[in-house]
Amino acid sequence: MTKIFISTLLFVCMVFGGAWDQSATAASPTYPPDIQKIKDRGQLIVAMHSIDQIPYLISDPSGKLYGNDVDLAKSIADELKVGITFDRTAKTFNEIVDIVASGTADIGLSTLSRTLARAEKVRFSNPYAVVRPVLVLNRVAAAKLNLGGSLSEMARFSGLIGEPKGNSYIGFAKSVSPKATVVEFDTWDETFNAVTEGRVVATFRDEIGVKNYLNRFPERAVQLSMISIDNPAMVDGLAIAVNSQSLHLLGFINLYLEMKYPTRKADDLMRIYAQHYKK
Amino acid sequence: MKPVTKKQTNFSMQWLKSPVVVLLSMLMGISAGLYFPDFSKSSAMVGETYLKLLQMTIIPILMSAVISSVGKLFASESARASILKIITTSFIFLFLVGALTIVISLLVGPGRYLSEDAKILLGKTLNVADQSGGSHAVASRGTVEFIHAMIPSNIFDDLGRGSILSILFFSLILGVAIGTMGGKNAQSILDVAEGLFEAFFKIVDWSMYLLPFGLFSLLANQLASTGTDTLAAMLRFVLIVWGTSLFVIVVNTAIMCLTLRRSPLVILSAFKQSMLIAFGTSNSIAAIPSAIEALTGEKIKLPASIINLVVPIGVVLNSFSMIIMYIAATVFAAELYDVPLHAPQIVIVILLSVLAAIAGAGAPSIVCISMISIVLLPLGLPAQAIIVLLIAVDPLIDPIGTMTNIHTNVTISALVASGDKNENKGE
């Protein structure tokens, strides 16, 4: 009796187990093409700047990447249950946008500011971090021009402003100081050198970028003054760039940010990644 | 015989007023501030309470002294000459101190030979200030604003807020009114003012028993809260301010020795208490009563009618320490930012520093410091940065600066009053 019962039970299990198995195959998720492509590849390709951006993107000597943007990209990949590949060929921020637009990378996640010019090529997620823009002035040049650094003064300012090539702050500078001439440099360091030496009067940059620079060269604060721009309309929202075809991925990322990732501010970022500032 | 008996009855407490005890308490305060900063900061309340006690009587003393002395002056019809003398003597001293400071500053060079480390320290101080939003500290007061601040719309409101400049202005006008009024009523108002003045003075005299405790706590807290980092970077600047101040005090003493015909030791001992209060509290106005007492007391014996007027006005309006600070800091800024100062600029620096010091009269010390923008901006030097650095080192130069203020104003008062005394004798 017992034998018969057990064998019946086994049979039932097999039948139903098979049915379960079959039903699972039948309901196998058919993802929208943009997600399917990532699932098939098993990798989320993330475009990032070739130069480290503390505290967003930091590489240690062994080539291991960490930082806020790296962590966020990894957690998105984890939610998609795929691995991650970083594409760090971009020399400028605009190049990151181009890489995403061409479809070489799935997303661009590298302290990207949203600009209208970039939004013509890619779609942007909601901001994952907001940072204030900062006006950096050469103190002596500003004193000679009697320039205090308020927005109304900068609106009338007609001198030279330096910004690095392919940077969103070129547009920002032109919108804040329409009468000024924007001089483009190759890198941020060259831009800051020019302001320090008084070759240009000012530059605009995000507060973390400015703080990082002055952490590296504290003596430059003798020449450079930083004035935070507190106008809420001018806050720089850092967002994730997504290919124009990847509508579903964009929806997924926005929902992820909404549910699991409260928008971070500069102070949060600097606190969370404080150990990198001690170095 | 009388003073002896008085001394015997007060003997038990008298030692608290001895300069040795006061000096000792100051030294202990300085060492406590340097070696036990946490304890010193927690004991700050004692010093602040003492300073409040000292300040309690300051406005009534200032008012009653100015009203009664101006009233008498105008009643005696020699007013115009005296006031002219006060003003000219003050201006001569202001410009002399300015000229002296610029000579010393240019010779020593406060911003010369700055090491890389020093520049890093300066940069860090400035960066911290920038980030905490200190970028709006630049204040400047034009002539119109100065007059606007001077005239009270409601004197009781200004008394309540303790705005010294408008109270002084009101007292001067009231004194002139009473003096020109004449008659019995005028005399009784003057008598009341004088009586009140003496009563308030008595209170100040009592508070001197607590001076050692107050100074200990004030100095300990001041040293404990000074950023020694910034000092390292601005050492030459601080040394110039101290050197110039001490030089001015020595010259003042010489002037007083000659005009008052007293030995330097008598002068030194007469003003020791007011100098110690000035140094210990960094509050010029708190030292007014003891300065008046010294000038009219046993050792100097100048006429109270003049002293009661000249000392309060001088201390409020003539800020020699600010001139020294403005000029030394301007030379520091010029050297730090490689802006050359030629003869015309040097003259401008002296003129504007005197102007800025007068414009800042009676204002809180942060406002006075930020007045340096009046000097720096015309030269194209960044005022913002220099103000931040000055605020950082202010606790180190404030004591000697306050002492210089009191000492120089005492000297001016002695010059004006002794001249008057001689004239009166001639008459």
Is the per-residue pLDDT at A5 higher than 50?
A: yes
Find chain B residues with C-beta within 8 A of A131's C-beta: none
Name the H helices within B36-115.
37-42, 44-56, 58-75, 79-108
Is the per-residue pLDDT at B136 higher than 50?
A: no
CA-nearest residue to A227 within chain B is B130
Task: Quick: pLDDT tens for B327-375.
Answer: 999 999 999 998 889 988 899 899 999 988 887 776 777 778 888 888 8
Give me the interface pTM, i.e. the ipTM.
0.70
Is the per-residue pLDDT at B425 higher than 60?
A: no
Provide the mean pLDDT of chain B: 83
Residue B350: per-residue pLDDT: 94
Angle at B240 between CA A198 and CA B243, to 5 degrees: 175
Question: Comparing C-alpha atoms, which of A271, A266, A261, A238 is closest to residue A108?
Answer: A238
Interface of A with B in 201-260 (CB under 8 A): 211, 214, 217-223, 225-228
CB nearest B337 (choices: A140, A148, A219): A140
DSSP state of A226: E
Angle at A86 between CA A85 and CA A89, to 5 degrees: 140
Identify the sign of the CA torsion A225, A231, A232, A235.
Answer: negative
How many CB atoms lie under 10 A from the CB of residue A139? 24
Q: What is the mean pLDDT of residues B132-153?
A: 64
Identify the H or E element spanning A202: strand A202-206
Alpha carbons A238 and A131: distance in angstroms, whole number:
8
Q: Is A165's Cβ below 8 Å from some Cβ in B? A: no
Pairing of strands A160-164, A181-185: parallel
**Chosen from B116, B122, B127 to mutate, greatest number of chain A CBs within 10 A:** B127
How many CB atoms lie under 10 A from the CB of residue A243? 22
Is the per-residue pLDDT at B394 higher than 90?
A: no
DSSP state of B210: G
Q: What is the mean pLDDT of residues B9-33?
A: 77
Is the per-residue pLDDT at A3 higher than 80?
A: no
Residue B120: per-residue pLDDT: 87
Q: What is the mean pLDDT of residues B226-247?
A: 85
Find chain B residues with C-beta within 8 A of A222's C-beta: 119, 122-123, 126, 336, 385
Mind telling me how many Å the CA of A190 is from chain B's nearest CA? Answer: 19
Residue A124: per-residue pLDDT: 96
Contact B130 A221 (CB under 8 A): yes
Residue B137: per-residue pLDDT: 39
Q: Is A193's Cβ below 8 Å from some Cβ in B? A: no
Q: Is A27's Cβ below 8 Å from some Cβ in B? A: no
In total, chain B counts a number of residues equal to: 427
Q: Backbone phi, then psi, for A228, in 5-degree steps?
A: -70, 140
Residue B330: per-residue pLDDT: 95
Residue B427: per-residue pLDDT: 36
pTM, to two decimals? 0.76
Which one is predicted more confidently, B419 or A166?
A: A166
Please check whether residue A109 is in contact with residue A121, taking contact to mean a CB–CB distance below 8 angstroms.
no
User: Which residues on adjacent β-strands are paired with residue A135?
Assistant: A204, A227
Find chain B residues with C-beta within 8 A of A214's C-beta: 123, 127
CA-nearest residue to B380 within chain A is A144
Residue A10: per-residue pLDDT: 55
- Residue A26's pLDDT band (cuts 50, 70, 90): very low
Mind telling me how many Å the CA of A140 is from chain B's nearest CA? Answer: 5
Q: What is the mean pLDDT of residues B266-290?
A: 88
Task: Quick: pLDDT tens for B198-234.
Answer: 888 788 878 888 888 888 888 888 777 766 667 778 8
